[in-house]
Amino acid sequence: MSGAAIPAAALAFNILSAGVSEMKQGDIHYTGPTSTIGVTVSNLPSGVTLKTKHSEAEIFSYQSEALAGEAVNVKLRAYAAYDGPQVQVTFQFPSDGMRARFDSDVYVTVGNPLSIDRMETSAGWQQIGIGQYPIVRVPISVFVDEPWPTDNYKATFMLVLSGMYGFGAPGLSVYEDYQVTTD
């Protein structure tokens, strides 16, 4: 370890939470963070400059048809900024994924991140004093209430965010505990 490095235990990872609000656009109901969520870090070694990377992913998509045409087309995108010891994410509905028609209702709920896990970094990162990077899971649920006789749809999962990769990490999927039910 070089003289500029500090022990990894001295890095303080902090969950970045946001207030949660409800928004309704047409028949889509969204409950979720009002700003960026993720993990920040304090006590970085002096002189360490981090380069922020950006990534985006469509983390959920659902479409259904009715006799009169498209009934539901909902998509949720996540935009991540990460630099090794930190990751921050925002959520947005793209313009082509905000439709619920014919008495269909869509409820999307995004929670604040849960507890922080840590994974060991590469030797190069360890040499500059960053021995671990954070991993958090964000709970997400989607419920689509379709008119009879169409089945309703519910999906729940944890979105895995990491400071080193944005979405997922080696050995970890972007999704955990993905469950879908229809009735």
Cα pseudo-dihedral 27, 28, 29, 34, rounded to 10: -140
For residue range 29-55, list pLDDT tens digits in order. Answer: 999 999 999 999 998 888 888 999 999
Domain hosting residue 78, numbered range = 8-182
For residue range 138-180, list pLDDT tens digits in order. Answer: 999 999 998 888 889 999 999 999 999 999 999 999 999 999 9
Is residue 132 over pLDDT 70?
A: yes
Q: What does pLDDT average to over the chain?
A: 91
CA pseudo-torsion sign 113, 119, 125, 128: positive
Domain annotation covers residue 2: no
Domain annotation covers residue 3: no
Is residue 21 over pLDDT 60?
A: yes
Domain annotation covers residue 1: no
Is residue 3 over pLDDT 80?
A: no
Contacts of 6 (CB under 8 A, 6+ apart): 43, 45, 129
Domain annotation covers residue 62: yes
What integer is the mean pLDDT of 77-103? 94
**Prediction pTM value:** 0.89
Looking at residue 168, its pLDDT comes to: 96
Looking at residue 149, its pLDDT comes to: 82
Domain annotation covers residue 157: yes
Is residue 130 over pLDDT 60?
A: yes
Is residue 10 over pLDDT 80?
A: no
Residue pair 57/160 in contact by the 8 Å Cβ criterion: no
Contacts of 116 (CB under 8 A, 6+ apart): 13, 15, 39, 134, 135, 136
Domain annotation covers residue 45: yes
Is residue 6 over pLDDT 80?
A: no
Domain count, the chain: 1
Q: Structure tokens of 166?
A: 């944005």
